[in-house]
């Protein structure tokens, strides 16, 4: 059976892509590397949620628990408006590198599931990481299963985050991203902004 490495941003976004990949005949392994998440306690909480999904769904995981936050912040400083490009590149290149090194047949990402993400940008960066590291990228528009995946995550009782991940998106929860000019939100609003979508 062909093996695929699934870059996982968090537990809730893993259910639907995992089901789809397994239905398509892939042997799936999860890969966690998300040093964009701030603060560190949130990073740990999301990792624990993913580990709970891993147990529930018998999904083997490769976890990179290193946390090069400084590298992430330095690379987005003064380019905060384009931060998602840097963020996707950091994470998806790590996934492609790991997939190539461990001889997976392909890699993909749960970022393609979330309606909150910049779908076209994530796809483009994954395609260039695929060329750079010589490992195929599997593309599917997992957003089609958004509602089903959300319902599944809610039913499972795992932690569901309130913002995309970085410190800037945490601020956007309350003040809105500059380009969208959103009004302030309540602290209880769930994951309203993950960078502007495209
Ligand atoms: S909004 Fe989300 S995707 Fe964009 S930089 Fe922040 S954590 Fe990364």
Ligand 1 contacts CB of residue 83 (under 6 A):
yes
Ligand 1 contacts CB of residue 166 (under 6 A):
yes
Which residue's CA is the nearest one to ligand 1's atom 6? 166
Is residue 142 within 8 A of residue 16, CB to CB? The reply is: yes
Question: Which pLDDT tens digit goes with each residue over 78-113?
Answer: 999 999 999 999 999 999 999 999 999 999 999 999
Residue 87, SS3 per DSSP: helix
Question: Ligand 1 centroid to 25 CA: how many Å?
Answer: 31
103 class by beta-carbon count within 10 Å (0-12 exposed, 13-18 middle, 19+ buried): exposed
Q: How far apart are the first and last CA of the chain?
A: 34
Residue 62, SS3 per DSSP: strand
- C-alpha span between 143 and 110 (Å, rounded): 10
The domain ranges of the chain are: 3-163
DSSP-derived secondary structure letter, 184: P
Ligand 1 contacts CB of residue 17 (under 6 A):
no
Question: Ligand 1 centroid to 112 CA: how many Å?
Answer: 14
pLDDT score of 179 = 63
Question: Ligand 1 centroid to 11 CA: how many Å?
Answer: 16
Residues 3-163, CATH architecture: 3-Layer(aba) Sandwich (3.40)
Tell me: pLDDT of 61 over 50: yes
Q: What tokens were used for 198?
A: 């495209």
Is residue 132 within 8 A of residue 96, CB to CB? The reply is: yes
């Amino acid at each position: 059976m062909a093996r695929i490495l699934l870059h996982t941003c968090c537990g809730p976004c893993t259910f639907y892509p995992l089901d789809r990949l397994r239905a398509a005949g892939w042997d799936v392994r999860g890969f966690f590397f998300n040093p964009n998440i701030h603060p560190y306690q949130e990073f740990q909480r999301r990792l624990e949620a993913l580990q709970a999904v891993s147990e529930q769904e018998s999904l083997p995981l490769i976890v990179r628990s290193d946390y090069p936050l400084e590298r992430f912040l330095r690379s987005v400083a003064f380019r905060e408006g384009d931060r998602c490009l840097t963020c996707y590149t950091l994470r998806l290149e790590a996934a492609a590198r790991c997939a190539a090194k461990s001889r997976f047949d392909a890699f993909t990402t749960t970022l393609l599931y979330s309606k909150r993400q910049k779908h076209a940008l994530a796809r483009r960066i994954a395609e260039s990481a695929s060329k750079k590291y010589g490992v195929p990228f599997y593309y599917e528009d997992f957003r089609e299963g958004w509602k089903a995946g959300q319902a599944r995550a809610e039913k499972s009782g795992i932690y569901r985050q309130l913002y995309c991940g970085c410190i800037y998106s945490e601020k956007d929860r309350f003040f809105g991203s500059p380009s969208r000019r959103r009004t302030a939100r309540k602290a209880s609003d769930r994951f309203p902004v993950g960078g502007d979508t495209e």
